Amino acid sequence: MNAFFSRSGVDKCDKAGIIEETEHNKLFRGDCQMPKGQKTCSKCSTANGPRAFVCKNCNQQFAFKPKTKEQKTTKLIRDFNWRELERGDKIKVSGGPYFVSNGDFIPMGYRGKFVVESIDAQGIRAWGLDKQSGFAHIYMGRDIQNNDTGIWKVKHKILKIKRKDTIQATN
Ligand SMILES: [Zn+2]
């Protein structure tokens, strides 16, 4: 009694981004033909509606992560050369300089979404769009430690935010 899900039903939910499969919420991908759009509880195998947050039988929580409009229309590009960024490109920034004090890791870099203004030898000049507002110079140089302050200057991690239709057009 553990097959409630047709393969096409699971795939449909996957594509719609309704179900996020995690280690603790494995989707059953058997061959049995069952009503489409249901999801099977990983704990007790009860069939639940596709948008259920918890199992109606045992209250097991389902991973549930609807995509935002931005996630539907954009894609994050990992592998690209930051030096090829152009004015107007949108990027997602994390990582960057940090300071270690008494074993505490203190991040000092920029984070959030930025729109590129220009690039220079040491990094990206950009405007903050969400978490940080105003102008930023996003360090992308080599790792160096400041002798006076002890702060590590480390390059940021950059993801390029690209519209999905422009990706398809270039492929
Ligand atoms: Zn259950």
Distance of alpha carbon 20 from alpha carbon 145, whole angstroms: 40
Which pLDDT score, from 0 to 100, does residue 120 have?
A: 96
- Could you tell me the pTM of the whole model? 0.58
Distance from the CA of 29 to the center of ligand 1, in angstroms?
A: 17
Domain ranges of the chain: 1-66, 70-163
Distance 32 CA to ligand 1 centre (A): 19
Q: How many helices (H) and strands (E) does the chain have?
A: 3, 12
The answer to whether residues 36 and 8 touch, using CB atoms and an 8 Å cutoff, is: yes
Give me ligand 1 centre to Cα 25, in Å: 11
The pLDDT of residue 83 is 96
pLDDT for position 90? 96
How far is the centre of ligand 1, averaged over its atoms, from the C-alpha of 52 (Å)? 11
pLDDT given for residue 18 in this prediction: 43
Q: Quick one: pLDDT at residue 31?
A: 33
130 CB contacts (<8 Å, ≥6 apart)? Answer: 112, 113
Each residue's pLDDT, cut to its tens digit, for the chain (171 residues) gives: 333 444 444 444 444 444 444 444 444 443 333 445 778 888 898 888 877 888 899 988 876 566 778 878 888 999 999 999 999 999 999 999 999 888 888 999 999 999 999 999 999 999 999 988 899 999 999 999 999 988 999 999 999 999 887 555 444
